[in-house]
Amino acid sequence: MFRPLRMSFILLAGVLLVSVAGANPATSPDGTTALLQKAVNGDWRSAAHKARDPYRHPIETLQFFGLKPDMTVIELDPGGGWYTEILAPVLHDHGHLLEASGPKFADRIKANPAVFGRIGPLIPFDPPRQVRLGADNSADMVVSFRNAHDWMMDSPATLEAVFKAVFDVLKPGGVFGFEEHRAKPFATATESAMALHRISEDYIIALALKTGFRVAGVSEVNANPKDPEDINVHRLLPDLSGPAAEHEKMKAIGESDRMTLRFVKP
């Protein structure tokens, strides 16, 4: 269910919502659902990573983005590779996965060639110094999971540069699948990013429209109404960085409330 302020913003902006994803994955005729389920169940994923599936909804999220096994997909700043472990097997036979990251991620790829062997080449990515993602109009999809606040912490211009780089590398009709920790509506973007590691959904939608994207879908699949949205996300699961006395309270909340958006390059 949409929250009133967010829906009002989208409607006033004149955005056509082509689709809104629910919580249940649909069976895909091309076998994507089966490939996603196999990847999620893979024994290469640690127990700790699998424990987060109920919070992160990887199958539903990637289906909402429109992932297909024959796509060329760029993952931005993959961190520990939580989503890479799922994307790589799905795209292994017929698609192409590229990681936009620093050089350290190359070691993770080399450590498990059976799963990650078809990834590459690594795209040097270090905003704001390096943001170019490849040849213009060359990728079917770019995905970003919970890292936009890091670019905003550098500066709003850095986040804008990343969005522009994504727009440039996508083919016409290409998808930017975006997930981020959500701040309260109309929160000051730089302050919420610095203090809470969050950005408001209205800010991200406005930036996407400014960049040239259209909004093709908004999903609440990763929403968490228990999250008050006014605390640093690292106090919540899985980090529990705050005082031990508040850990049980944070566990009861779960992981952060997150926006899940699908932008399309016209």
By the 8 A CB rule, do 197 and 234 touch? yes
The confidence score (pLDDT) of residue 117 equals 87
Pick from 67, 8, 64, 127: nearest CA to 258: 64
The confidence score (pLDDT) of residue 29 equals 62
The confidence score (pLDDT) of residue 30 equals 72
pLDDT digits over 100-125, tens only?
999 999 998 998 898 998 998 999 99
pLDDT digits over 15-57, tens only?
444 444 444 444 566 789 999 999 999 999 999 999 999 999 9
Q: Are strands 139-145 and 170-181 parallel, antiparallel or unpaired?
A: parallel
By the 8 A CB rule, do 175 and 66 touch? yes
pTM more than 0.85: yes
The confidence score (pLDDT) of residue 161 equals 98
The confidence score (pLDDT) of residue 25 equals 42
Question: Average pLDDT, stretch 70-96?
Answer: 97
Eight-class DSSP state of 182: B
By the 8 A CB rule, do 166 and 155 touch? no
Ranges assigned E (strand) in the chain: 72-76, 96-101, 123-124, 139-145, 170-181, 214-219, 258-264
Could you give the strand order of the β-sheet that contains 139-145, starting from the edge strand earlier in sequence? 123-124, 96-101, 72-76, 139-145, 170-181, 258-264, 214-219
How far is Cα 208 from Cα 105, in angstroms, rounded to an integer?
A: 28
User: Does the pLDDT of residue 258 top 80, yes or no?
Assistant: yes
User: Does the pLDDT of residue 171 top 60, yes or no?
Assistant: yes
Residue ranges per structural domain of the chain:
4-264
How many secondary structure helices (H) and strands (E) does the chain include? 13, 7
By the 8 A CB rule, do 167 and 213 touch? yes
User: How many C-alpha atoms does 80 have within 13 Å on its Cβ side?
Assistant: 6
Q: Is the CATH number of domain 4-264 3.40.50.150?
A: yes
Q: Tell me the two tokens of residue 1.
A: 């269910």
Question: Average pLDDT, stretch 198-223?
Answer: 98
For residue 175, the SS3 value is: strand
Question: Average pLDDT, stretch 58-65?
Answer: 98
pLDDT digits over 92-105, tens only?
999 999 999 999 99
